[in-house]
Amino acid sequence: MISCKIIALYLVKYQFLMIDNTYVKNSRIHGKGLFASGGIPAGCIIGWLRGKSSDIDGPYVLWIGEWQGIEVLCNLKYINHSDDPNACYYDDLSVVALRDIEPHEEITHYYYSNDW
């Protein structure tokens, strides 16, 4: 398990982990998926979305409002849906581990929640 540094972000303390601790490979869920290279403790930031504004739906568009989407341009676009997710997106565009994620486990998010 990788230890995380504690940093202050928006006056809330999060544990920090860079996105380079993940990799992309074929997924049993759908197409390609994002996987943990090593263990990721609950509460660690896996990474931040990088993308561009979009008002047109597409395979890697994350909707943050009824009319506003972000076309994700980094490896976080490979996070697949799960009814039992291990990560979530926050309104600062970070992706955070909801629970401990095992090495080589796929990182998933519940797409249909309103957690923005």
Burial class (CB in 10 A: 0-12, 13-18, 19+), 42: middle
Question: Which of the pair, 27 or 58, is modelled with greater confidence?
Answer: 27
Whether 87 is covered by a domain: the verdict is yes
Whether 32 is covered by a domain: the verdict is yes
Phi, psi of 20 (to 5 degrees): -70, 5
Read off the CATH number of the domain in which 104 is found.
2.170.270.10
Whether 19 is covered by a domain: the verdict is yes
Question: Which of the pair, 5 or 107, is modelled with greater confidence?
Answer: 107
Tell me the two tokens of residue 102: 């095992």
Residue 4 has pLDDT above 50, yes or no: no
Whether 69 is covered by a domain: the verdict is no
Whether 36 is covered by a domain: the verdict is yes
Query: Are 64 and 70 spatial neighbours (Cβ–Cβ below 8 Å)?
Result: yes
Tell me the two tokens of residue 36: 């943990």
Residue 85 belongs to what domain range?
5-49+79-109
Q: Which amino acid, residue 112?
A: Y
Whether 56 is covered by a domain: the verdict is no
For residue 64, the tally of other CB atoms under 10 A from its CB is: 15
List CB contacts of 67: < 8 A, sequence separation 6 or more: 55
Question: Which of the pair, 79 or 3, is modelled with greater confidence?
Answer: 79
Whether 22 is covered by a domain: the verdict is yes
| pLDDT confidence bin for 1, thresholds 50/70/90 | very low
Whether 64 is covered by a domain: the verdict is no
Predicted TM-score (pTM) above 0.85: no
Query: Are 96 and 87 spatial neighbours (Cβ–Cβ below 8 Å)?
Result: yes
Total domains present in the chain: 1
| Residue pLDDT, tens place only, 81-111 | 999 999 999 988 899 999 999 999 999 999 8
